[in-house]
Amino acid sequence: MATIAFIGLGHMGGPMAINLVKAGHKVHAFDLVDELVQQVVAEGAHPAADAVDAVTDAEFVISMLPAGKHVEALYVTGDRPLFDVVKKSALIIDSSTIDAATAQRVTAIAAERGLNFIDAPVSGGVGGAIAGMLAFMVGADDAQFAQAKPILECMGRNILHAGGHGAGQIAKACNNLLLGVLMTGTCEALNLGVKNGLAPAVLSEIMKKSSGNNWALQLYNPYPGVMEHVPASKEYQGGFMVDLMFKDLGLAMELSQQSASPVPMGSAARALFSLHKAKGNGTLDFSSVMRLYQDQ
Amino acid sequence: MATIAFIGLGHMGGPMAINLVKAGHKVHAFDLVDELVQQVVAEGAHPAADAVDAVTDAEFVISMLPAGKHVEALYVTGDRPLFDVVKKSALIIDSSTIDAATAQRVTAIAAERGLNFIDAPVSGGVGGAIAGMLAFMVGADDAQFAQAKPILECMGRNILHAGGHGAGQIAKACNNLLLGVLMTGTCEALNLGVKNGLAPAVLSEIMKKSSGNNWALQLYNPYPGVMEHVPASKEYQGGFMVDLMFKDLGLAMELSQQSASPVPMGSAARALFSLHKAKGNGTLDFSSVMRLYQDQ
Amino acid sequence: MATIAFIGLGHMGGPMAINLVKAGHKVHAFDLVDELVQQVVAEGAHPAADAVDAVTDAEFVISMLPAGKHVEALYVTGDRPLFDVVKKSALIIDSSTIDAATAQRVTAIAAERGLNFIDAPVSGGVGGAIAGMLAFMVGADDAQFAQAKPILECMGRNILHAGGHGAGQIAKACNNLLLGVLMTGTCEALNLGVKNGLAPAVLSEIMKKSSGNNWALQLYNPYPGVMEHVPASKEYQGGFMVDLMFKDLGLAMELSQQSASPVPMGSAARALFSLHKAKGNGTLDFSSVMRLYQDQ
Amino acid sequence: MATIAFIGLGHMGGPMAINLVKAGHKVHAFDLVDELVQQVVAEGAHPAADAVDAVTDAEFVISMLPAGKHVEALYVTGDRPLFDVVKKSALIIDSSTIDAATAQRVTAIAAERGLNFIDAPVSGGVGGAIAGMLAFMVGADDAQFAQAKPILECMGRNILHAGGHGAGQIAKACNNLLLGVLMTGTCEALNLGVKNGLAPAVLSEIMKKSSGNNWALQLYNPYPGVMEHVPASKEYQGGFMVDLMFKDLGLAMELSQQSASPVPMGSAARALFSLHKAKGNGTLDFSSVMRLYQDQ
């Protein structure tokens, strides 16, 4: 049983914290929104008055925040930075999806101060968070990864060691760039076939058995009615929002710019999600980009 | 045992004809290049003096030609069009990958003349042709599909009924457009990760277990050394040529133009293969587009 | 005064024929739609019973048709091909915008038969046709160009010798590919500025005085209200239709495919016009692609 | 005669400072590289020991630095921030090309402290800087613009008021995004024509007289030999480096991400410059992207 501070209890962080409680850990939970704290307290977590209070005795600190600036403020530049109060022996796990540059900057500061800070962004969405089926992409040294693994396994199924510090954020950016490409490419191939008379379910099945096979065809078909229970069959409600895909593709663009890496396909995908978002579709599931292709 | 005429004995057609022989069929083989005829005759096929000779007694006619103009000339507009000599009861199976417009035009002429002509392009490459593991995407009515299936099963594993006449070519165009997108997207995600310090094998494994999963990561990793036996680990020799991917993406562009279907991602992929081809890489395997991304 | 046959009297052909009449030429006019014939007859042209009737005595034959297949049918493959009846001394000028491959095929047939056939597609739109201010891009040998020039000058201002046969169509394809790129790029730069608080007229003026200067900013600003009398200030009515820009970009794609020329930017532009067209905007002016970028 | 501090004396800043000297102003010059200071001192500027020394008595402060982080450090976050020492009555003009977000943040801090800080990035390259022919895109209120204008006119020809604070950087980002699109589009149209047999000079002339007309065709033709004195006719030496175009397109991507503005064409252009840069061409003039298109 470990004592764990959990900061950031939103759509993802809330269920993740609850899964830690269910696994028997002592979880000190904090969020700026008190209502979110109460939700996890109702499941057995301990409420913390503030972030400092949450981490004081923690062996593990887990944060789940929207962007790099929030992470940097929490640990380094805010009014009461956690790096000033956390125990030297604690392992700090940032599961936020943030830009790799900030992750590496915060990691370097932690290292200077003798603290253990690793990046472990997740993939799998709200459904995966609730079911404890997330994938974690971890940037850490071997000892830190070994220490983090049993804790992360309470929240996820695939705990993947991407490399040294920052590598988790980089792997996440690469994966989600590719996801953006797969999803738009799949939408466009399906639309091309349907406009030429093919049945979407038949074409999906053919491509799944051929070299067009990919995650979207297997688990997340974007054409309404082909697959049950996916957002496409629920008016694109739930799932992974267009706004978040647009954010993640923006992080990939930053990474490509800093490292001078060409990303023509990811750039084209970002442009398509951007055109789709401009028409008011930011809160729909990202597979709704199907509609951008379709005739009015 | 069926009597089968096989026209077009190149890299794909040759091994396909041989697999029909091995299955016990009587195969009358013809190609403009006599050497190619001799190769299949050595395996048990019967040489035909010309295409007309090959088809005269055939119950099945199979053609495997480079482009729509060759198919149209062979059956309709050439000096001795096969539609004039083939038996009314024969089933004509065109396995060439050609533009859907020509396929539909030739099909319509066949129908007017009471002939059975279906489109059945393949996926799976030279390796698949040799191993008898091709996928066939068939455009035919139900009776024709049922008739063709046992013959096609001698050459392939997945015999997929895409829809009515022309649907096979349309499904092939959609699949290969998506394949072009998957491959370029995968190359670009891998290059982005590697330039930022990740190991290509580790990143490949992470994306394969996440939402970036696709055919290229599973079976055809484009990064040298990640996967054995794929072209990337053999200096991009063998496999499916850049020239052929460029041709297929051109067919998808035609289809998108005729049907006014937007294909931004396929268009971007075509542009990348085109830039790669311009530097003299047309005869390498298409996964060599990896090199377009990499630093000199 | 020359005797001129004019075939194809649509939005472009009609006013072009009338300008020839006004310049004093004897014009035998034909179109499949009799009403269009009557409109130019009202301005002084002579009605022809059919295309053969129109060309019989003509020194010049001018055609203005929608696509390559119409041109090929008219001159070569139709029921009564004009190449069978036109005078050997006549100069045949095809001003249709068609694919370069067809232009070159028809030209070759003309040459075999000792006929003078040149390609001279136009730029400048309906307004330019009415005002006699078209640009002609001419593919012809020097003698043919010299012979055509005074006739073309009755209809246009810039008579440009692009090169040998087919070169007019190639130049037109290159120009309109570039135009598609300029227009989408200009829309996107303006939208980016406006969304960040700049006034569209101010930003237009700045870019016009800087390295962003181009035809769209000078003569055809796509942002409503910046420039009077352009389609953008008339709800995108009139001008050059999205459908035609989409057609022309399709011709450029064909040319790029046949010559293995990379056209990433033109491909991206085609994709944008295609997305715009899919939402029912095909008959608006092409500068309406501005709306694709804008927030709902 | 004004007393002017000039910070940053590189390829652009050096000649700009010299033009101020030539106009009769008293210029206190500083750069971290002493050799650069000596070059402008040789033309009549006064050397400053450091940035603080340069600005102490200045009525105008002009900075010309590589990126946002340098500007922020100089004025706000560095060891001896200039905002602490500059006179309240001074007008601070930042002519660096930086991200709009930093420009707006620094401007806000200046405003809080009662200082006059405006953004005035330039266009026109090293040649324009030497000749005093730059374009300035100015973000400032009306009074500040009026005050800056006579000073800027010593260094440039077009002094353009883009709007309020930050508007200069935004206009610059929009313009250079469009420039990247124009240049790649022009290269691609020329390559398409040349591969199909047209002479590059003839095609350039035709498009310049048609709707493909743009800055690149007018002043900066990317095809070797068409225009004298441009980088294309000097092995792409001199001019505006690929590295800088890549940087500027990165700034435009950031702006598009923050404002959720779709930039498909600019994104495609960035991808092309990125592919070109990856092959070792970063220090060539940006019109060398012509070579990316050409056959080996």
ipTM: 0.95
User: Which subunits have 3 or more CB–CB pairs within 8 Å of chain D?
Assistant: A, B, C
Residue B152 reports pLDDT greater than 90: yes
**SS3 per-residue string spanning B57-118:** CCCEEEECCCCHHHHHHHHHHCCCCHHHCCCCCCEEEECCCCCHHHHHHHHHHHHHCCCEEE
Residue A238 reports pLDDT greater than 90: no
Residue of D nearest to A280 (CA): D260
Please report the residues numbered 269 through 288 in chain A whose beta carbons come closer than 8 angstroms to any beta carbon of chain C.
275, 278-280
Catalytic residues of A: 172
CB < 8 Å to B292, chain D: 275
Strand residue runs (E) in A95-254: 116-119, 122-123, 134-139, 156-163
Please give the average per-residue pLDDT across D216-230, as a whole number.
Answer: 96
**pLDDT for the residue numbered C99:** 92
Indicate yes or no: CB of D278 within 8 angstroms of CB of B296: yes
Q: Which is catalytic among the residues D26, D69, D87, D172? A: D172
**pLDDT for the residue numbered D124:** 86
Strand residue runs (E) in chain C: 3-7, 26-30, 46-47, 60-63, 91-94, 116-119, 122-123, 134-139, 156-163
User: What percent of chain C stands above pLDDT 70?
Assistant: 100
Residue B169 reports pLDDT greater than 90: yes
Q: Confirm or reject CATH 3.40.50.12780 for domain D171-293, answering yes or no.
A: no
CB atoms within 10 A of CB D237: 11
Q: How far apart are CA C247 and CA D197, in angstroms?
A: 23
Q: Which of A270, A263, A65 is nearest to A174 (CA)?
A: A263
pLDDT, tens digit, for every residue of A111-126? 999 999 999 999 988 8
**pLDDT for the residue numbered D76:** 96
User: What percent of chain A stands above pLDDT 90?
Assistant: 96
CB contacts < 8 A (A, D): 54
Q: How far apart are CA B99 and CA C70, in angstroms?
A: 20
Please give the average per-residue pLDDT across A254-274, as a whole number.
Answer: 98
Asked whether the CA dihedral C228, C229, C230, C233 is positive or negative, the reply is: positive
Helix B34-41 with B13-22: angle, nearest 10 deg? 20
User: Which of C161, C170, C196 has its CB closest to that of D170?
Assistant: C196
Indicate yes or no: CB of C170 within 8 angstroms of CB of D210: no
Q: Which is catalytic among the residues B172, B209, B234, B279? A: B172
The contacts found for A208-211 with CB under 8 angstroms, 24 or more apart, are: A209/B135, A209/B158, A209/B160, A210/B123, A210/B135, A210/B137, A210/B158, A210/B160, A210/B175, A210/B179, A210/B215, A211/B123, A211/B175, A211/B176, A211/B179, A211/B182, A211/B215, A211/B220
pLDDT, tens digit, for every residue of A83-136? 999 999 999 999 999 998 899 999 999 999 999 999 999 998 888 999 999 999
Please give the average per-residue pLDDT across A176-194, as a whole number.
Answer: 98
Q: Is A268 on the interface with D (CB under 8 A)?
A: yes
Bigger pLDDT: A239 vs D221: D221
Residue A112, judged by CB atoms within 10 A of its CB (0-12, 13-18, 19+), counts as: exposed
Indicate yes or no: CB of C167 within 8 angstroms of CB of D123: no
pLDDT, tens digit, for every residue of D18-42? 999 999 999 999 999 999 999 999 9
CB < 8 Å to A184, chain D: none
Q: What mean pLDDT is reported for chain D?
A: 96
pLDDT, tens digit, for every residue of B269-283? 999 999 999 999 999
Cβ pair B256, A189 in contact under 8 A: no
Indicate yes or no: CB of A210 within 8 angstroms of CB of B158: yes
If DSSP codes are grouped into helix, strand and coil, which group holds residue C293? Answer: helix
CB < 8 Å to B166, chain A: 197
**SS3 per-residue string spanning A241-269:** EHHHHHHHHHHHHHHHHHCCCCCHHHHHH
CB < 8 Å to C161, chain D: 202
Cβ pair A40, A27 in contact under 8 A: yes
User: What percent of chain D stands above pLDDT 70?
Assistant: 100
Q: Which residues pair with C61 in a beta bridge?
A: C5, C92
Please report the residues numbered 247 through 266 in chain A whose beta carbons come closer than 8 angstroms to any beta carbon of chain D.
250, 253-254, 256-257, 260-264
Q: Same CATH topology for B3-164 and B171-293?
A: no
Q: Confirm or reject CATH 1.10.3720.10 for domain A3-164, answering yes or no.
A: no
User: Which subunits have 3 or more CB–CB pairs within 8 Å of chain A?
Assistant: B, C, D
CB < 8 Å to C277, chain B: 260
CB contacts < 8 A (A, B): 248
Indicate yes or no: CB of D294 within 8 angstroms of CB of B280: no
Q: Is D295 on the interface with B (CB under 8 A)?
A: yes
Indicate yes or no: CB of B179 within 8 angstroms of CB of A211: yes
Cβ pair B30, B5 in contact under 8 A: yes
The Cα of C94 is separated from the nearest Cα of chain D by a number of Å equal to 18
**pLDDT for the residue numbered A135:** 94
Q: How far apart are CA A119 and CA B28, in angstroms?
A: 64
CA distances from A168 to A76, A109, A161, A164, A247 (A): 20, 18, 8, 8, 17
pLDDT band at B254 (very low <50, low <70, confident <90, very high): very high
Q: Is B268 on the interface with A (CB under 8 A)?
A: yes
Q: Which residues pair with B139 in a beta bridge?
A: B119, B163
CB < 8 Å to C263, chain B: 271, 274
The Cα of D216 is separated from the nearest Cα of chain C by a number of Å equal to 8
Q: Which residues pair with B29 in a beta bridge?
A: B6, B47
The amino acid present at C208, given as its one-letter code, is K
Residue of A nearest to B179 (CA): A212
Q: How far apart are CA C51 and CA C75, in angstroms?
A: 10
Indicate yes or no: CB of A279 within 8 angstroms of CB of C295: yes
Indicate yes or no: CB of A277 within 8 angstroms of CB of D270: no
User: Which subunits have 3 or more CB–CB pairs within 8 Å of chain C?
Assistant: A, B, D
Indicate yes or no: CB of A250 within 8 angstroms of CB of D271: no
**pLDDT for the residue numbered C200:** 98
CA distances from B72 to B121, B199, C6 (A): 15, 50, 34
Domain ranges for chain A, please list them.
3-164, 171-293
CB < 8 Å to D294, chain B: 278
**pLDDT for the residue numbered D214:** 98
**pLDDT for the residue numbered C125:** 85
Please report the residues numbered 160 through 199 in chain A whose beta carbons come closer than 8 angstroms to any beta carbon of chain D.
none
Q: How far apart are CA B136 and CA B156, in angstroms?
A: 7
**pLDDT for the residue numbered D164:** 94
**pLDDT for the residue numbered D59:** 97
CB atoms within 10 A of CB A73: 14
Q: Which of A274, A93, A294, A281 is nearest to A192 (CA)?
A: A294
Mean pLDDT in consecutive groups of 10 residues from the start of chain C, 296 residues = 96 97 98 96 96 96 96 95 96 96 93 96 91 95 98 97 96 98 98 98 96 96 96 94 97 97 98 98 98 96
Indicate yes or no: CB of C296 within 8 angstroms of CB of A275: no
Please report the residues numbered 36 through 55 in chain B whose beta carbons come closer than 8 angstroms to any beta carbon of chain A.
none
Rounded to 5 degrees, φ, ψ at B122 are: -120, 160
pLDDT, tens digit, for every residue of D130-139? 999 999 999 9
Please give the average per-residue pLDDT across B31-35, as a whole number.
Answer: 96
**pLDDT for the residue numbered D27:** 98
Residue with tokens 């041109």: C71
Q: Which residues pair with D27 in a beta bridge?
A: D4
User: Which of B253, B261, B268 has its CB closest to that of C253?
Assistant: B253
CB contacts < 8 A (B, C): 55
CB < 8 Å to A264, chain C: 264
Residue B239 reports pLDDT greater than 90: no
pLDDT, tens digit, for every residue of D37-90? 999 999 999 999 999 999 999 999 999 999 999 999 999 999 999 999 999 999
The Cα of A131 is separated from the nearest Cα of chain D by a number of Å equal to 32
**pLDDT for the residue numbered D278:** 98
Indicate yes or no: CB of D174 within 8 angstroms of CB of C259: no
Query: Which one-letter DSSP state was computed for residue C235?
Result: T
**pLDDT for the residue numbered A269:** 98
Q: Which of B163, D265, D42, B55 is nearest to A275 (CA)?
A: D265
| DSSP letter string, A16-83 | HHHHHHHTT-EEEEE-SSHHHHHHHHTTTPEE-SSHHHHHTT-SEEEE--SSHHHHHIIIIISSS-GG
**pLDDT for the residue numbered D87:** 96
CB < 8 Å to A158, chain B: 209-210
Asked whether the CA dihedral C249, C251, C252, C256 is positive or negative, the reply is: positive
Please report the residues numbered 210 through 249 in chain B whose beta carbons come closer than 8 angstroms to any beta carbon of chain C.
246
User: Which subunits have 3 or more CB–CB pairs within 8 Å of chain B?
Assistant: A, C, D
**pLDDT for the residue numbered C138:** 97
Residue D177 reports pLDDT greater than 90: yes
Q: Please confirm, yes or no, whether B172 is among the known catalytic residues.
A: yes
CATH top-level class of D3-165: alpha beta
pLDDT, tens digit, for every residue of A12-44? 999 999 999 999 999 999 999 999 999 999 999
The amino acid present at D118, given as its one-letter code, is I
pLDDT band at D264 (very low <50, low <70, confident <90, very high): very high
Rounded to 5 degrees, φ, ψ at C49 are: -70, -35
Indicate yes or no: CB of B296 within 8 angstroms of CB of D275: no
